[in-house]
Amino acid sequence: MRPAFPQEDLDRIVAETGDLWHDLRGSRWFITGGTGFIGSWLLESIHHANLSVGANIEAVVLSRSVQKAVDAAPHLFTSGDISFVEGDVTSFDMNVGALDVCIHAATDVADPVRAADYARIFDVGVTGTRRVLDTAQKNSASRFLLTSSGAVYGPQPADLERIPESYNGAPDPLDYRTAYGQGKRASEWLAASYSERYAMNVSIARIFALIGPGLPLDGPFAAGNFIRDACRGTRIQVRDGRPFRSYLYAADACIWLLRIMQDGANQGAYNVGAERAVSIAQVARMIEQASDLDQCSTEADAQVPDAHPSRYIPDTSKARRELGLVERTSLESGLSSTINWSRMAAML
């Protein structure tokens, strides 16, 4: 069982998306990936909006293991406003009933075992997205949000400080390890093509690195692994501290996703992330400080002469300009919240 997400975060999400809950009051949503990191925040926000402002939204969630989901968050999944469709995103029963909104957030990238199955990752991106689009179209959904990824851009050039949506880079099609980015590119094309053919507003969120309560601590995310080690009081291991990343707090990201879904341009893509670049070594030190831990590996300081550290930093000026979105939570505050929540979760 996991603890609920911070009340003040949920209050802020509902307050900053108030018009959405009014406009979509009484609507029915279909959400894939609802038990994952991003999906959990979306469901917690819907549930909180139902309780606090009477949004009266019904969420139908696709899950491979319904009982596991209920056991992990009984406060959420026994509330009466969330129901389940049990199955896999590539083969579930599409007869889910009339829909107003569809959010496709399913991914296997956070699962170390499934993330190693590159063909499976590609299938989730392509076959899964097409099945979810067919479900949305068949059941008359008028809004569709696809959670994509900054991986669609491929490697960020060393001389490009931040990646804008207009950047036309792409992952190497001959590198089998790029399955996630390739699948997301194909899923974006599918979503745009369905929007063109059917009367369905499609918006796309290209998500970069996030932090916040619920962040997987045993996956491919360096910050999550560092927090796991800090919560255990063990030495933080940093194999290469040079790459640069940026981290948007989950509550901020949830606001961005909801606003993109409601107000984003049809067939428009928006970067979702923070613009403050920090090295992996800096993140490790910040987690040390927030955890009162003084055991970071000295490997964090390793340098390679004349090397250009990799970057994964979005340009979010489009989202800020068109939708008025902002980063409200500092990295320091976000890390502290993530660490405190993770410690509570470890005690349950």
Please, what are the averages of pLDDT over each run of 10 residues along the chain (348 residues)? Answer: 92 97 97 93 96 97 89 86 93 96 85 75 93 97 97 95 97 95 96 94 97 91 92 87 96 98 97 97 92 61 61 98 97 97 88
User: Is the CB of residue 260 less than 8 Å from the CB of residue 270?
Assistant: yes
Whether residue 284 is contained in a domain is answered as no
Chain centroid offset of residue 176 CA: 23
Whether residue 84 is contained in a domain is answered as yes
- The structure tokens listed for 122 are 């590609």
Question: Among all chains, which residue has been given the structure tokens 């005690």?
Answer: 347
In which domain, by residue range, is 108 found?
7-210+247-275+313-328
- Residue 69 confidence (pLDDT): 86
Whether residue 334 is contained in a domain is answered as no
Query: In angstroms, how far is the first alpha carbon of the chain from the final one?
Result: 7
Q: Residue by residue, what is the 3-state secondary structure of the chain?
A: CCCCCCHHHHHHHHHHCHHHHHHCCCCEEEEECCCCHHHHHHHHHHHHHHHHHCCCCEEEEEECCHHHHHHHCHHHHCCCCEEEEECCCCCCCCCCCCCCEEEECCCCCCCHHHHCCHHHHHHHHHHHHHHHHHHHHHCCCCEEEEEEEHHHHCCCCCCCCCECCCCCCCCCCCCHHHHHHHHHHHHHHHHHHHHHHCCCEEEEEEECCEECCCCCCCCCCHHHHHHHHHHHCCCECCCCCCCEECCEEHHHHHHHHHHHHHHCCCCEEEEECCCCCEEHHHHHHHHHHHHCCCCECHHHHCCCCCCCCCEECECCHHHHHHHCCCCCCCHHHHHHHHHHHHHHHHHC
Whether residue 292 is contained in a domain is answered as no
Whether residue 240 is contained in a domain is answered as no
Whether residue 345 is contained in a domain is answered as no
Q: Which amino acid is at 222?
A: A
- Residue 110 confidence (pLDDT): 55
- The structure tokens listed for 67 are 């009982």
Whether residue 335 is contained in a domain is answered as no
Whether residue 337 is contained in a domain is answered as no
Chain centroid offset of residue 50 CA: 22
CATH of the domain at 67: 3.40.50.720
Query: Into how many domains does the chain fold?
Result: 1
- Residue 3 confidence (pLDDT): 87
Torsion (CA) 49, 52, 53, 58 in degrees, nearest 10: 40
User: What burial class does residue 19 get, using C-beta atoms within 10 Å of its C-beta: 0-12 exposed, 13-18 middle, 19+ buried?
Assistant: exposed
- Residue 76 confidence (pLDDT): 87
- Residue 298 confidence (pLDDT): 43
- Residue 218 confidence (pLDDT): 84
- Residue 300 confidence (pLDDT): 44
